[in-house]
Structure 1
Amino acid sequence: MVFKYRTAGIVAVLAGASLTALLAQNGAPSVASGKREILLQTNQSWNGKPYTHYPTGQPQLTMIKLTIAPHTALPWHTHPFPNVVYVLSGTLTLHDKASGKTQVVHQGEAVGESVDAVHRGESGDEPTVLLITYAGTPGVPTSIPAKGEKAEY
């Protein structure tokens, strides 16, 4: 009698293990928290100017991937609302036209861009690939060329 119950218990354990393995093979996800790494949290742009406002109206988030050829400076431009740049590869040197300030941003780093201040980015010795996220509104461009300049993208 004891043998019969032990055998049934072993069969139940094996069946449970087989069911678990079957669920894992069928793509049933395990549930766990993700690992958070804050890349940037700021209330001012890289050149020290505080963010003072957001546009009014319906929010529209825009994310672009921008590739800049080696040894290339983008045209001078402004942004009408806050945005964040993350460098996927290469380096980005930011230039503030009015103050002459510069900042170099390397692969894996993020920076808050200038709002309503004329600036531009410049690549280094290799192509620079950026992810840029804008917090704007529909119908408002993400980048505005400075007077006499071409569009940034």
Structure 2
Amino acid sequence: MKSAIVIRLFASLVITYSITSYADEHPSVTTDLIIRSSNDWTGSSLPSYLSDTPEIAVMRYVIPPQTALPVHKHPAINAAYVVDGEITVVQEGGIQRNFKKGEVIIEMVDKWHYGVNQGVKPVELVVFYATTKELPLAIKKPVP
């Protein structure tokens, strides 16, 4: 376990150095850290990373105006970039937060929630999932 953490830290440092070095050598390249956090959008800590072979999935969602997504939860860590529009994310139980174009939603893991577009134009999201082959990207809450 410790060796996996060391390898991840080393890889992170190499990637960070490579990006910084590239930007230094090419002044026309700009970099902006949009978000980096070990907490989801509610402030809760993210769980330990999966122990199975990782898989990255990237999805694009377009949510029409006045549309709510079904209540669901995610079994793995993921984050959504709001490409356009504004969405309200609501955790079952009442915590909610609005996210606008250019912001990132670090999703909660294994907690029921949903998103709603209350605006007049579509919301476009690009969602990055750090998952495994066996896990679904989302699990819809059964309707009683």
Q: TM-score range by the shorter chain?
A: 0.7 to 0.9
**Percent identity of equivalent pairs:** 29
Aligned to 1:50: 45
Aligned to 2:32: 37
Deviation at 1:104, TM superposition (A): 0.3
Structure 2 gaps, min length 5: 1-24
Aligned to 2:112: 118
Deviation at 1:88, TM superposition (A): 0.5
Structure 1 gaps, min length 5: 1-30
Residue type of the alignment partner of 1:139: E
How many residues are matched? 118
Deviation at 1:55, TM superposition (A): 1.9
Distance in 2 of aligned mates of 1:80 and 1:53:
12
Higher strand content, 1 or 2: 2
Match of 2:74 among 79, 82, 86: 79
Distance in 1 of aligned mates of 2:81 and 2:102:
7
Distance in 1 of aligned mates of 2:143 and 2:39:
27
Distance in 2 of aligned mates of 1:38 and 1:125:
30
Aligned to 2:55: 60
2:68 is paired with a residue whose SS is coil
Distance in 1 of aligned mates of 2:108 and 2:120:
24
* TM-score, normalised relative to structure 1: 0.73
* TM-score, normalised relative to structure 2: 0.77
Deviation at 1:45, TM superposition (A): 0.7
Counterpart mapping for 1:2-151 below 5 A: 32=26, 34-98=29-93, 100-123=94-117, 124-148=119-143
**Alpha carbons 2:47, 2:109 under 8 Å: kept:** no
2:67 is paired with a residue whose SS is coil
Deviation at 1:97, TM superposition (A): 0.4
Residue type of the alignment partner of 1:104: N
Distance in 1 of aligned mates of 2:120 and 2:34:
24
**Alpha carbons 1:40, 1:111 under 8 Å: kept:** no
Larger radius of gyration: 1
Deviation at 1:139, TM superposition (A): 1.8
Residue type of the alignment partner of 2:121: E
**Alpha carbons 1:136, 1:142 under 8 Å: kept:** yes
Backbone CA RMSD of aligned residues:
1.4
**Alpha carbons 1:86, 1:131 under 8 Å: kept:** yes
